[in-house]
Amino acid sequence: MKTKNIIGLLLLIAIFALFAFTLSQESSKKVVEQDKVEEKVTKVESVVQKSDEEIYLEDLKKQAGQKVEYEVSAYYKVACSSCHGKTGNGTKIAPAIAGQSYEYLLSKLDDYKNGKVENSLMQSGLFININEEDLKKLAKEIANFK
């Protein structure tokens, strides 16, 4: 009877050892599978196109850090730079205005002011309280942007 108990105990230990070994193999497989999934996610993230909002935010961050070699007026900073950038090189919202001639800029500003070109941002933001002389000063300032 004693021999049967010893054999039973040894079989029980062997079964638990096999069970533990099986569990350890399953958990290591899960770790390898998780690593593979994370690798695939990383690859997919690198392929996924950035949204317009992400591109816009990156553009704004880039422009916020730009240094300007010339002084811009407070009016330009408030009314124009948020759309056209600190240096007038444009953003995703508005085109570049740096490098344009005084006459061209004045003509375009006049078109916006008089409603020849409809643009709610330009008409509600820029032209609320600006007179002709200030408009000319603004065009002259922007024409000097490099």
pLDDT digits (tens, 9 = 90+) for 59-95: 666 655 555 555 777 777 777 887 888 888 888 788 8
Tell me, what DSSP letter sits at residue 86?
Answer: T
Q: How far is CA 103 from CA 100, 107, 109, 140, 141, in A?
A: 8, 6, 10, 9, 12
Question: What's residue 103's pLDDT?
Answer: 94
**DSSP secondary structure string for all residues of 71-104:** ---HHHHHHTHHHH-TTS---SSS---TT--HHH
Report the pLDDT value the prediction gives residue 37, as an integer from 0 to 100: 66
Q: What is the DSSP letter of 124?
A: I
Instruction: Give the pLDDT score at 20.
Output: 82
Cα Rg of the chain, angstroms: 34
pLDDT (tens digit per residue) in 44-60: 555 666 777 777 667 66
Q: Which residue has the higher pLDDT, 120 or 87?
A: 87
